[in-house]
Structure 1
């Protein structure tokens, strides 16, 4: 009887502890519009200037592309290394949905540029030097701007790794 009772008591204690933790750590309730007084609403609107037509006043947004880019380095007909890159885009405010809608086309273009860069020897030696990465960044930015006119202002290489075989 004791062998069955102890696990049941521990399970109940764990369940109650989890419920209590969830209750006390839940997110705060959002304020309803009726709960905000007119005076608070006026000061809120005055403190933050609204520029609905001017996206540049808000500043750029940064959008991390959904997955990494894997580029094989081929020498003498065999893969000698693999380069893994994570890219983010600096975009104008409010254009995330447009970028996500065009991401497959963007990824295809980026992969072609990365493969060409790898085949021309761009990932050999000290490939992380600024002079080596500058043409790659420029090519990625040009491709992004041709696909997403007026949306992308920069392409950021947020992480790059080369794994030699």
Structure 2
């Protein structure tokens, strides 16, 4: 009898874990609309939410989008100055092998996001395999140079990774991708 109860409890825990994981996955993926990832202008945040005294006001100010200032530039009337910024998050990280003497010496794991305009934000979800292929090709090329991924704390290497990936992505999408954001980067020796 004790074994049956233990088995039933184990099955219930496994099913509950599966349901919970599925629920969390559906929440984290949200909608496939890129508008769900867009930051709202600061004045919408102040009008939509009330300060309930529990620190919400601090969080609103921490998530303000960067405003593009059209003053002082020669592009008066340019529509890009008023466009919203969207962030595209890839479904999984990029894992780049570092090869020495024909063997995998270490792995570099990168979590990248793309800063885009509204004009391409809706197309990125369907283009993810092509974008991932382009980014992996760029990262493997950098991996083979022997120096870029040796020091993941070097600012110069960080900027080299960002600029190389951005340049190669702009060959796939000529406009709309503004920046490559390196959210996380870690190196693990094998």
TM class by shorter chain equals 0.5 to 0.7
1:149 shift after superposition: 2.0
Structure with the greater alpha carbon radius of gyration: 1
Alignment correspondent of 2:180: 155
Segments of structure 1 that go 5 or more residues without pairing to the other structure are: 1-43, 48-52
TM score, norm. by length of structure 1: 0.63
* 2:114 and 2:177 in contact (8 A); partners too: yes
Structure 1 residue corresponding to 2:88, chosen from 44, 63, 68? 63
Aligned residues: 114
Which has the bigger relative contact order, CA under 8 A and spacing at least 6?
1
1:69 shift after superposition: 0.5
The answer to whether the aligner puts 1:77 opposite 2:102 as a matched pair is yes
Structure 1 residue corresponding to 2:135, chosen from 110, 123, 131? 110
Question: SS of 2:125's equivalent?
Answer: helix
Alignment correspondent of 2:149: 123
Alignment correspondent of 1:34: none
Q: How far apart, CA to CA, are the structure 2 residues paired with 1:67 and 1:55?
A: 30
**Cα RMSD (Å):** 2.1
Question: SS of 2:157's equivalent?
Answer: helix
Alignment correspondent of 2:116: 91
Structure 1 runs of 4+ off > 3 angstroms? 53-56
Q: How far apart, CA to CA, are the structure 2 residues paired with 1:56 and 1:88?
A: 21
Question: SS of 1:98's equivalent?
Answer: coil
Structure 2 residue corresponding to 1:145, chosen from 170, 174, 182? 170
Residues 62-101 of structure 1: CA distance to partner in whole angstroms, max 9, x if unpaired?
1111111011111011111011101000000253221112
Alignment correspondent of 2:75: none
* 1:56 and 1:93 in contact (8 A); partners too: no
1:130 shift after superposition: 1.1
Q: How far apart, CA to CA, are the structure 1 residues paired with 2:164 and 2:83?
A: 27
Q: How far apart, CA to CA, are the structure 2 residues paired with 1:142 and 1:66?
A: 21
1:56 shift after superposition: 4.0
